[in-house]
Amino acid sequence: MTGAAAAEPLVLGIETSCDETGVGLVRGRELLADAVASSVDEHARFGGVVPEVASRAHLEALVPTVDRALAGAGVRLADVDAIAVTAGPGLAGALLVGVCAAKAYAIALGKPLYGVNHLAAHVAVDQLEHGPLPSPAVALLVSGGHSSLLLVPDLAADVEPLGATIDDAAGEAFDKVARVLGLPFPGGPHIDRAATAGDGAHVPFPRGKYADGTSDFSFSGLKTAVARWVEARQAAGEPVPVADVAASFQEAVADVLTRKAVDACLAHGVHDLVIGGGVAANSRLRALALQRCEAAGIRLRVPRPGLCTDNGAMVAALGAELLGRGAEPSRLDFAADSSLPVTAVTAA
């Protein structure tokens, strides 16, 4: 580590918004550790995340995950200069576990605490790989709970919503379609793998709000169309071509997401697009986004797949950005907010 890097503050990030207990350590824009404890196996038999199960899993995993991150980075808890934690949005009970733990660490260490926005953190994590975020940039955030387009003039202070899903988020649709196809939970990785052997043009599934002139999304109709198509095949006693259906569904999602994202960049005169969230790990989405961005003269930034899903590194990255900008820490009485708006980069 260089002397300049060593002089940067060390930030501990805690993420517990859903079913991943994530702890990251970031010094400046250098990622030192990213430890994750997942409770996905405990939710798989229910076909989705059970909030109470997730909360209990966070309680059990948080302290060991913090210890594992510290050991991986080769630092002590006393070396931490600030703490950042996801304050929202997310599952209320899961958020409370992380927020309460972060407050305890901050009080015990006498260090500043930043309660940060989960969505802004998904944008901030890209800086760990690709350097400072251009200003302005457009961010496409796609996960199990969110499908959003954001204009980001200033990541630490100014994030403007351009559009969002009006019903199911993209990741939610992946999970529901996977269930229809008999694939395991979580659906995203399994559909992506199945689609590699399929034909994305096999079934012309609908593209909700594809050319309506807005930056909003809708995936509920697509999910229903897949279910009806599969049911019709089954009722006729015909086999369901799982790979082709998975590829066709995935193509429809990627088509809508990338078209809307590129259109938003062009409409606002922005030349940089950042994609984050769990669905950003999807191979077809990444490939189609690159193809369309290159054709439109837009620079594409997508973190490696391991940093797309919920993780502590992204929270630490946003905390480091705020600390580096001299932002005021959060008051210790801030609340976890399951519906924290994207315009609030930090908790009130």
Domains of the chain: 3-125+311-324 (3.30.420.40), 134-304 (3.30.420.40)
Average pLDDT of the chain is 95
15-62 per-position pLDDT tens digit: 999 999 999 999 999 999 999 998 888 888 888 889 999 999 999 999
The fraction of the chain above a pLDDT of 90, given in percent, is: 92
DSSP calls for 96-135? HHHHHHHHHHHHHHT--EEEEEHHHHHHHTTHHHH-SPPS
Burial tier of 240 (Cβ tally within 10 Å: 0-12, 13-18, 19+): middle
Q: How confident is the model at residue 2 (pLDDT cuts 50, 70, 90)?
A: very low
Q: Can you give the pTM of this predicted structure?
A: 0.94
CA distances from 100 to 59, 80, 135 (A): 10, 18, 34
Residue 314: its pLDDT value, please?
98
Angle, to 10 degrees, between the axis of helix 187-195 and the axis of helix 170-180?
Answer: 70
| Backbone torsions φ then ψ of 186, nearest 5 degrees | -75, 145
Asked if residue 310 has pLDDT above 50, the reply is yes
What gap in Å lies between CA 45 and CA 48, rounded to an integer? 8
Q: What is the pLDDT of residues 186-205, one digit of tens each?
A: 999 999 999 999 999 999 99
Query: Look-up: residue for tokens 């030349």?
Result: 271
Lookup: tokens for 184? 């395991």
Helix (H, G, I), strand (E, B), or coil: what is residue 175? Answer: helix
Residue whose pair of structure tokens reads 């076909």 in the numeric block: 47
Q: How far apart are CA 302 and CA 318, in angstroms?
A: 16
In 10 A of CB 243, how many CB atoms?
Answer: 18
Kindly give the residue spans of alpha helices, DSSP state H, lying in the chain: 3-7, 40-44, 51-73, 92-109, 118-124, 127-130, 170-180, 187-195, 220-235, 242-267, 283-296, 312-324
Structure tokens at 284: 């077809």
**Dist CA 299 CA 185 (whole Å):** 33
For the chain, what is the total number of helices (H) and then of strands (E)?
A: 12, 10
Place of tokens 């496409």: 140
pLDDT band of 224, cuts 50, 70, 90: very high
Sheet holding 158-164, edge to edge: 158-164, 147-154, 137-142, 272-276, 299-301
Q: What are phi and psi of 85, to 5 degrees?
A: -145, 145
For 298, list phi and psi in degrees, rounded to 5: -110, 135
Quick one: pLDDT band at residue 4, thresholds 50, 70, 90? Answer: very low
> Stretch 318-346: mean pLDDT, rounded?
95
Q: Residues 252, 202: contact at Cβ < 8 Å?
A: no
Q: What pLDDT, in 10s, does the model give residues 229-260?
A: 999 999 999 999 999 999 999 999 999 999 99
In this predicted structure, the answer to whether residue 5 has a pLDDT above a threshold of 60 is: no
The stretch 131-138 carries a mean pLDDT of: 96
Interaxial angle between packed helices 170-180 and 242-267, expressed in degrees from 0 to 180 and rounded to the nearest 10? 170
**Sequence-distant (≥ 6) Cβ neighbours of residue 88 within 8 angstroms:** 17, 95, 117, 118, 336, 337, 338, 339, 340, 347
